Structures are given as structure tokens and as C-alpha cells.
Amino acid sequence: MNYKNIKLEKRENYAIIEIANNKNNSLDQKTLNEIGDATKNLNKSKEIKCIGLIGGPKFFSPGADIKELEKLDSKKAKKQKLFSKVDDLQKIDIPIISFVEGYALGGGFELALSSDLIIASSEAKFGLPEINLGLIPGIGGTQKTKKFTSNQNVKYLAMSGEIIDAETAMKYGIVSQVIPKENFKEFTLNFLNTISSKPKKSLQVIKNLVNSEENLKKSLIKERQEFYKLLDSENKKIGIKSFLNKTKPNWK
């Protein structure tokens, strides 16, 4: 399949998916659909043992497309099963590793959190700024982050909307390693080669055992429902208008 918003490169035993659309790597529905389709197809391959997910040097992804989000209300979001393609990543048997350069914000951060490992460039930045739009994280930001760090740190990120650097993300336990920017691409390929040299069945079993959590599915559904409700709120309209006009929001 020919993709327009991502680039797919298959090597001997692994594949690389690069977020590469014309909107600074924002996660519009088309981009999410393509990521979902590519990972699903790669998961069926006998040769592919792992997937590397990368973005650009400035933006891994800044999150959802704001103009697309502006048009959504709860009814439309439910009808199109908004963000379900990210949920489907949990069904992928082989390891998905996010290599983050630049900014991973909102949905971009949550996409990385949906992978099995996050490895960051020394220049990487992370944040959950949805509260500045009158919303909350809607792709697992309040739930998936708890697998890596304390509830206190999750509240700090989601309530403040602050952006943290790679070293702080590593202290939080969110990032596995921080690699100097100048060595990052070389490390990415070497690490994918290392993982793909291991027995595929062992990789799949390890992933399944570590990810086994009975209550995560229920808590993700609850988070998504609350996100949908806020799509109808006055504060969502105020937040997005202020973001687009670069003005300070006056919350209700």
C-alpha cells in the first residue's frame, strides 16, 4: 500500500515507520489510519521482528491536528471511533520502539507511550498540554503514563501542561535511554538490529507478559469517555480559539 502521511521502510528483520505528513507531523485521522494499517500488516509478516517508530528532527509529533479537533464534538468523535487506531497498537504482538527527536506533545507523546520502549534524543521534549485547550489527554495520557512513573508526576504533566526535557523524562522513568543528538540515528539503527537479532517468539512472549494488565482497558475507556464529553464544552472552544489566535484563554 502507498502511504501519503507516513514513510515505511522494511529491512531484513525489522521495519521503520516515519511520521511524515505536511502538518508538522500532527496526528490527523489519515495519519493515524496509516500508522494503524502499517503496523497491522507488519505484524502479519513472518520476517519482521520489531518496528521502529520515528518522527522528524523538530517534531516527533505535536499531537492531534488542532483544526481537525476544532470541528469535532462528542457525537462525531464516537461515530468515527476517534483514536481507536492508537488503541489497536495494543494488539500488535511484536515490539514497537519509539525513537523521539524533537517534540512529542499531547497525542504525539501518547502515541510514543503506546509503544513498548521510548528512546529519546538529548534534544527531545515531552508534554501533555491538552489542558491548555480546555481538554484532557484522550489517548491514554492519564493512564499509560502511570505504567512508567508516579501518579504525582502524571498529575504534574497533565494538570500543568508543562513540557519536560529528555533527562527529566528519563528521571520519571518514561524514557529508557537518552542518546546524544549527533549519535541518535546511528543508535536507532543499531538498536533495531539488536532487537531484531533476538528470537521472535521470545520477544512476543516478553511483550505479552509485561503488558498484561486487566484494569488498563477499563481505565482507558473511562478516560476516552471523559475526553469525548469535553469536546462539547465551552472551554474547548475557548482553548482552541486562543491557541489558533495566539491569545490568552479566558476560561469559563
Which residues are known catalytic residues?
110, 130
Q: Cα separation of 111 and 61, whole Å?
A: 9
Burial 143-163 (b: 16+ CB within 10 A, else e): bbbeebbeeebbebbbeebeb
CB atoms within 10 A of CB 109: 34
Q: Cα separation of 189 and 165, whole Å?
A: 23
Q: Cα separation of 40 and 7, whole Å?
A: 15
Q: Cα separation of 68 and 5, whole Å?
A: 15
Query: By CB neighbour count within 10 A (0-12 exposed, 13-18 middle, 19+ buried), where does 235 fall?
Result: middle
Cell 484494569 -> residue: 215
Contact 8, 17 (CB under 8 A): yes
Q: How many helices (H) and strands (E) does the chain have?
A: 11, 10
